[in-house]
Amino acid sequence: MKLIILGAGRGKRLGKFTDRKPKILVKIGKLSLLEILLKISTNTKIFSEIVVVVGYRKKDVQKLIVKQGFKNVRVIHNPFYEIFGPLISLWLASLFIDDDFIIINGDTLFSPGIFKNISDEKNVIQLFISKKERYMKDEMRVKTDRKGFLIKADKNIADINADGVSLGIVVVKGDKNRKIIKESIESLISNPKNTPTYWHELLNYLINKKQPIKTITVDKNCWIEIDTERDLKKAKKFYEYLKQFI
């Protein structure tokens, strides 16, 4: 299995913290977001290769990976990250994928224990979600059916209608599903002017094509997404917990 880390963005909402470095190199404690993700992911022994898609200040990311001696890590540059967003990053990564894979956002930290929830099924697409009492304005909300299959992923779903929030972690298993994912991405980016802002639109596209996507519900306290300076403060506390896995 391979891991795709989407980390091309700058992260402008973090203000001064990303003036001279990409979001994935922002420090959380003594380590950067990317270092934490790579260490945790490597230590799980799940992944044969980790693909990191970079954009803003790509050389800084490359230097860090070499300096820290991370093995089996492939860096892919997305030169269009400011224009077309993360779906292009996902397409570029898909060109190097010939095995089952997991997609994660480079600004999300998580406990490695969540990977125990991956289905044993050989052919499945899964989205990790969490139930919450309250939703933040910019969170990717999800709607599911009674069996836990995804109906829609959208930031505009009303709180009262939301069944959870996406972690931005997707598992893709099976030759057929890998092919469907690649073909769907290519369809979505075929017209650059209409390329979706959020890569979750890929999931909605798949649903419209009658492709079932199972959801996996995990504890809301086992992960954190870093978008703002306030998130950074919370992430530093979460990092203290994650140290045991690094």
Would you state the pLDDT for residue 193?
66
CATH code for the domain in which residue 79 is found: 3.90.550.10
pLDDT tens by residue, the chain, 246 residues: 999 999 998 888 888 888 889 999 999 989 999 999 999 999 999 999 999 999 999 999 999 999 999 999 999 999 988 887 788 999 999 999 999 999 999 999 999 999 999 999 999 999 999 999 889 888 999 999 999 999 999 999 999 999 999 999 999 999 999 999 999 999 998 876 667 778 999 999 999 999 999 999 999 999 999 999 999 999 999 999 999 999
Domain total for the chain?
1
What predicted TM-score, i.e. pTM, was given to this entire model? 0.94
Full DSSP string of 122-146? SSEEEEEEE--SS--TT--EEEE-T
Q: Which residues fall within 8 angstroms of residue 215, CB to CB, at 6 or more apart?
A: 126, 127, 128, 129, 142, 144, 148, 149, 150, 164
List the domain range (segments joined by +) for residue 233.
2-245
